Amino acid sequence: MSAEEQQQRASPYRRVVLKISGEGFTRNNERGINMASVVELAQETYRAAKSGVELAIVLGGGNILRGAQFSAGTTSIQPATAHYMGMLATIINGLAFQDALEALGLETRLVSALFMQDVAEPNIHRRIERHLSKGRVVILTGGTGRPFVTTDTAAAQAALELKADIVMKATKVDGVFSDDPAKNPHAILYSRITYREFLRQNLRVMDPEAVTKCSEHQLPIVVFNFRRPGNIERAVRGERVGTLIYAGDATTGGEDVSP
């Protein structure tokens, strides 16, 4: 391997599951999907994929529809139906994202947890692992394929199933704060926090169900801001960005949080 290739591969991770929130597919919290935003995200992801790390990407759909919000306050739609609509939203994002990544020259596969055989492969983990080992970026859509959960949980699930080293959540804030930074200007950004403390403080930047799932398997999570250029690549290369959610260790003196 040449020195340049070595440099390109330098990452502590072999395989990463990257969750990208639906907000990445639109501008300024607008609803819907905006192709300029998708292309920007694809460019950032391209740089991360070139690090040589195997990359499976779970997409959110909140830019289009979230099931719980959509069915709230009406009896005319069943909650489960609304959740399936949310899952379909992730597939819409996936179709756009796949084309945007491939336009940059990446080889990709689009996978859906819901049957979508005209446009996406079924979710067969051995097959996904094969794509990853061949250097293809795998885009996982449709969440878990079941209602009443979020794509954060789908990402935790995928990371466990695919034996990834870490789950990364790319979102619109810089990491895990002590409070909602949009509402509380004094909220503190943590550089590290244990699973236990994250759950105890009832923090919401990552679905607690997903954090619980990761904690059961000591799977670390990094939460970071995708809007900062280069952040996805930095995170995938193992550089310090955002907040690490983890089991805790002696390096922090046993503290649960570290600003």
Tell me which residues touch ligand UDP (CB under 6 A).
21-22, 60-62, 66-68, 83, 86-87, 89-90, 143-144, 146-147, 149-152, 154
Contact 220, 246 (CB under 8 A): yes
- Of 51 and 151, the one with the shorter C-beta distance to ligand UDP is 151
The dihedral sign for the CA sequence 248, 250, 254, 259: negative
3-state class (DSSP) for residue 139 = strand
Contact 171, 18 (CB under 8 A): no
- Of 119 and 247, the one with the shorter C-beta distance to ligand UDP is 119
Q: How far is the CB of 160 from ligand UDP (least distance, A)?
A: 14
Q: How far is the CB of 68 from ligand UDP (least distance, A)?
A: 6
3-state class (DSSP) for residue 127 = helix
Contact 231, 254 (CB under 8 A): no
Q: How far is the CB of 228 from ligand UDP (least distance, A)?
A: 18
- Of 52 and 143, the one with the shorter C-beta distance to ligand UDP is 143
Q: Cα–Cα distances in Å, from 22 out to 158, 172, 208, 220, 230?
A: 18, 10, 18, 22, 19
3-state class (DSSP) for residue 57 = strand
Angular region, 115: left φ>0, alpha ψ -120 to 50, beta rest: beta
Q: How far is the CB of 65 from ligand UDP (least distance, A)?
A: 7
* Tokens 């690490």 found at: 244
Q: How far is the CB of 89 from ligand UDP (least distance, A)?
A: 6
- Of 152 and 174, the one with the shorter C-beta distance to ligand UDP is 152
3-state class (DSSP) for residue 54 = strand
- Of 54 and 207, the one with the shorter C-beta distance to ligand UDP is 207
- Of 86 and 94, the one with the shorter C-beta distance to ligand UDP is 86
Rg (CA), the chain: 18
Q: How far is the CB of 135 from ligand UDP (least distance, A)?
A: 26
